[in-house]
Chain A
Amino acid sequence: MEGTNDTLKRRIRILVAKPALDGHDRGVLVLAKAFRDAGMEVLYAGLLPTPEKVAKIAVDEDVDVVALSLHNSAHLSAFPEVKKWLKKLGASDIQVVGGGIIPPADRKRLEKLGITGNFGPGTPLEQVIEHVRKVAKKKWKMDQ
């Protein structure tokens, strides 16, 4: 399986977070468990962190990827806000991946801002994991 070699060399550190007023955490908890079972080091930002706080945790904990999930229609304001704060903190290399109830048109807007994935309901976990592995590799290349 692709990624196994990388996992042996270096484990992916990933922060999962819901950066808005949204307590629907079924998806984020399932993903966190799936990332962990896929060999990643998983951090969970807890409930209701602000985008600023998410970015700060990401920097402090030196993660490779931030995975954001929202089910409350706030993705267009909250996801870019996390991205903005990462840039402010000099950590543009940290990859931001999104998911939740995201209409196709919004998906395009988020992609343009460098937020990738933007997976909708029913996406297989394996697809999300593969994507995270891909962007983590990208980050490692940037860091070299």
Chain B
Amino acid sequence: MPQKNKGKWAYRQEIGNASAVERTNSSEFKLKDFYGPKDFKENYDSKLASPGEYPYTRGIHKDMYRGKLWTMRMFSGFGTPEDTNGRLKLLLSQGETGLSVAFDMPTLYGLDANSERAHGEVGKCGVNVSSLKDMEVIFKGIPLDRVSTSMTINAPANILTAMYAVVGEKGRVKKRDLAGTVQADILKEYIAQKEWLYPPEAHMRIIRDMMVYCTNSMPKWNYISISGYHIREAGASAVQELAFTLADGFEYVKLGIENGLDVDSFTPRLSFFFNSSINFFEEIAKFRAARRIWAREMKETYGAKNDRSMKLRFHSQTSGYSLTWQQPLNNIVRTTVEGMAAIMGGTQSLHTNSYDEAWALPSEQAVEVALRTQQILAYETGIPDVIDPLGGSYYIENLTDKMEEEAYKYFHTINGMGGVVKAIKNGYLQREIAATAYAQQRKVESGEAKIVGVNAFANKNEEPINVLKIDLKAERIQRKRLEELKAKRNSNRVQKSLEKLKEVYSGDENSMESIIEAVKNYATLEEITNVGREVFGGWKEPTIL
């Protein structure tokens, strides 16, 4: 690494002389020095149109942030259900407008706190939920009829949805009135985050069950949040994130239609979750292209007639990967730029990362700075005053067109393989992402890509910062709670409801009622997922290397 011994001045010179060098973004688009009228084939009405009008390139609402600011939704959860209940209440008191719960790894993998594999991981990366009991504690004293809750849960999302419904019911909030989201996007798990329980076909059937059940009984529940975030964090470029995520979305649309749902009855509930990373204009173009592609495909390919089916709503989160362990306070600046991109790209809700992300779970102080960052953007900068402020910029419109064009090339490749599930099974999507990740890392190694504090302007010594520490106390408490629960509950009823679920899973009937029944009887998360393991088996991913 030749740049190691260079001083700051040497860097300045290198950067100053760089205009002749070819510039690309994460999607490997070659960038021109500047853009003009010839770089943009304008057709205002069909390609852009006013905000709130098809194809919604400029935004899905007429009044956008003038009518309602984006929802400031900070992802949180750690330790015991009591710890998380406290954190959620603190965030609500500070002006947060929607809840977002993170779960620990055992919960994400459908394992109880006392599972052998859970040792050392209970409450570490999120809150632990082993049974309905834990969900009752997490939401104690929180008015579920007045807040909306987003739960970052995927493989066991059907079970957590059932638990939330039962907690609501016990607090006299009807299922019909419960508002919130579970991530439940299993396709991106196979592609990127790799937290699955069963083979793809089994999980798609479970998603179908949720889709049908929620469409009929929980109309305010977003039973799926189609996520590009993890695809991007796993190494994908912006255009790969865009293409793979929308391809997943279309797969879910097909699933609903194939199972007899009218396209306009369920697609308005589909929402998206994108990454907002550090290349400012590229991200904004990505969000705009996503809206245009979705609207056009929903209308022209899937026959949607309702405007709401065509409007792509999305949550965004700033990029964890872009944050550095070195010089952590610099991360506040990165997050601010990324948050701005999300807002100028028309996001419906936003999570801004804490500056200590690369060190540990965020401390309270770091979370507060992250939330304040959003509040400054919202109330001081004037950015939300005008919708799609970069619309019409030669550069942004050119990038938006290019994003769209390149995304369609990927759709073509994936369709040629027979769809997303096939492209997962043959490892194509996973390999594409790993290849981009490696190429990016190579650029950092060579110094072609500069990361301040890491391979440029680095300090010799890093002072440790104060971070949140989580001890094994949560594990002890959760194990004890589970033992007490198992001794107290009616095991006969647990057994019966699990047997019923096995029967339902083995056939083709909708499984949601059986899951709710098992949850109500305090069957544990692992007991319920074990029924699925028995019926469906597990899954091993194809070779990627």
Which residue numbers of A lie inside 8 Å of B, CB to CB?
A: 20-26, 29-30, 32-34, 36, 42, 44, 46-48, 50, 72-74, 76-78, 101, 103-104, 120-122, 124-126
Interfacial chain B residues near A120, Cβ < 8 Å: 325, 358
Contact residue among A20, A44, A46, A73 (Cβ-Cβ distance under 8 Å from B540): A46
B111 closest partner in A (C-beta) = A21
Known: A25-B234, A74-B124. A104 touches B541 (CB 8 A): no
Say yes or no: is B437 at the interface (Cβ < 8 Å to chain A).
yes
Q: Does B95 contact A (CB under 8 A)?
A: no
How long is the Cα–Cα vector from A125 to B445 in the complex, in angstroms?
Answer: 7
Name which of A21, A46, A101 has the most chain B CB atoms within 10 A of its CB: A21
Q: A30-B438, A74-B124, A120-B358 known; 7 other A-B pairs, CB under 8 Å?
A: A23-B189, A29-B437, A30-B235, A46-B541, A50-B117, A72-B105, A103-B464
Query: Which residue of chain B lies nearest to A127 when distances are taken between CB atoms in the complex?
Result: B1
- Nearest CB in chain B: distance from A16 CB, A: 9
User: How many Å from the CB of B447 to the closest CB on chain A?
Assistant: 10
Tell me, rounded to whole Å, the shortest Cβ–Cβ distance linking B285 to chain A: 24
Question: By the criterion CB–CB under 8 Å, are B325 and A26 in contact?
Answer: no
Q: Which of A32, A48, A77, A103 contacts B119 (CB 8 A)?
A: A77
Chain A residues, Cβ within 8 Å of B467: 103
**How close is B221's CB to chain A, nearest CB, in angstroms?**
26
| B binding-site residues for A, Cβ under 8 Å | 1, 105-106, 108-109, 111, 117-121, 124-125, 189, 193-195, 233-235, 321, 324-326, 358-361, 434, 437-438, 441, 445, 451, 454-455, 464, 467, 470, 540-541, 544-545
Smallest CB–CB gap between B128 and chain A, Å? 12
B105 contacts which chain A residues (CB < 8 A)? 20-22, 72, 74
Complex Cα–Cα for A36 and B545 (A): 10
Q: Is the CB of B125 within 8 A of A73?
A: yes
Given A44-B545, A125-B441: A72 and B125 within 8 A (CB)? yes
Among A44, A50, A73, A77, chain B packs the most CB atoms within 10 A around the CB of A73
A121–B194 CB distance below 8 A: no
Q: Within the assembled complex, what's the spacing in Å between the Cα atoms of A74 and B475? A: 13
Which residue of chain A has its CB nearest to the CB of B189?
A23
Chain B residue contacts of A78, Cβ below 8 A: 120
Q: Count the A-B residue pairs with Cβ separation under 8 angstroms: how many? A: 99
Within 8 Å CB of B119, what residues of A? 77
Given contacts A74-B124, A104-B464, A125-B445, contact A33 B438 (CB under 8 A): yes
Q: Given A21-B106, A46-B540, A125-B441, are A73 and B545 neighbors across the interface (CB < 8 Å)?
A: no
A113 CB to nearest chain B CB (Å): 14
Most chain A CB within a 10 A radius of its CB, from B118, B235, B545: B545
**Do B194 and A42 have beta carbons less than 8 Å apart?**
no
Q: List 6 A-B contacts (CB under 8 A).
A: A21-B117, A29-B438, A29-B545, A44-B545, A73-B470, A125-B441
Query: Could you tell me if B120 and A23 are in contact, using CB atoms closer than 8 angstroms?
Result: no
A32 neighbours in B (Cβ, 8 Å): 545
Tell me the minimal C-beta distance from B115 to chain A in angstroms. Answer: 10
From B189, B470, B545, contact of A33 by CB (8 A): B545
Residue in chain B with minimal CB distance to A21 = B105
A113 to B353, CA, bound (A): 33
Would you call A73 and B121 a contact (CB within 8 A)? yes
Q: With A and B bound together, what is the CA distance between A30 and B233 in angstroms? A: 13
Contact residue among B195, B451, B545 (Cβ-Cβ distance under 8 Å from A42): B545
Contacting residues, chain A, for B455 (C-beta < 8 A): 124
Q: Using A101-B358, A122-B324 as known contacts, say yes or no to A26 and B121 having CB atoms under 8 A apart.
A: no
User: Bound state CA distance, A125 and B438, in angstroms?
Assistant: 11
CB distance from B68 to the nearest CB of A (A): 34
B174 to nearest A CB, angstroms? 35
Q: How far is the CB of B165 from chain A (nearest CB, A)?
A: 26
CB pair A101 B454 closer than 8 Å: no
B362, chain A: closest CB distance, angstroms: 13
A55 to chain B, nearest CB (A): 16
Task: Contact check, A124 vs B445: say whether CB atoms are below 8 A apart.
Answer: yes
Residue pair B120, A20 in contact (C-beta under 8 Å): yes
Tell me whether A23 and B445 are in contact (CB under 8 A).
no
Residues on A with beta carbons closer than 8 Å to the beta carbon of B109:
21, 48
Contact of B358 among A33, A36, A121 (CB under 8 A): A121
Instruction: Select which of A122, A125, A126 is within 8 A of B454 by beta carbon.
Output: A122
Q: Which 3 A-B pairs have the closest CB atoms?
A: A23-B194, A77-B120, A21-B105
Q: How far is the CB of B197 from chain A (nearest CB, A)?
A: 11
**Measured CA separation A24–B321 after assembly (Å):** 11
C-alpha gap A16/B325 in the complex (Å): 23
Please judge, given known A-B contacts A30-B438, A101-B358, whether A122 and B120 are in contact too, CB under 8 Å: no
CA distance A78 to B117 in the complex (A): 10
Complex contacts, A22 vs chain B, CB 8 Å: 105
Task: Enumerate chain B residues within 8 angstroms of A34, measured Cβ to Cβ.
Answer: 438, 441
Contact yes or no, B541 A47, CB < 8 A: yes
Structural contact, B541 and A21, CB atoms closer than 8 A: no
Which residues of B lie under 8 Å from residue A44 when comparing CB positions? 545
CB distance from A129 to the nearest CB of B (A): 10
Residues from chain A with a CB closer than 8 A to the CB of B540 are 46
Alpha-carbon separation in the docked complex, A143 to B124 (Å): 39
List residues of chain A with CB within 8 A of the CB of B454: 122
* Contact (Cβ within 8 A) A103 B545: no
- Give bound CA distance, A122 to B324, whole Å: 7
In contact, A122 and B451 (Cβ under 8 angstroms) = yes
Give every chain A residue within 8 A of B234 (Cβ-Cβ). Answer: 24-26
Does A26 contact B360, Cβ atoms closer than 8 Å? no
Q: How far is the CA of A139 from the CA of B326 in the complex (A)?
A: 32
Task: Judge whether B437 and A26 touch: CB under 8 Å.
Answer: yes
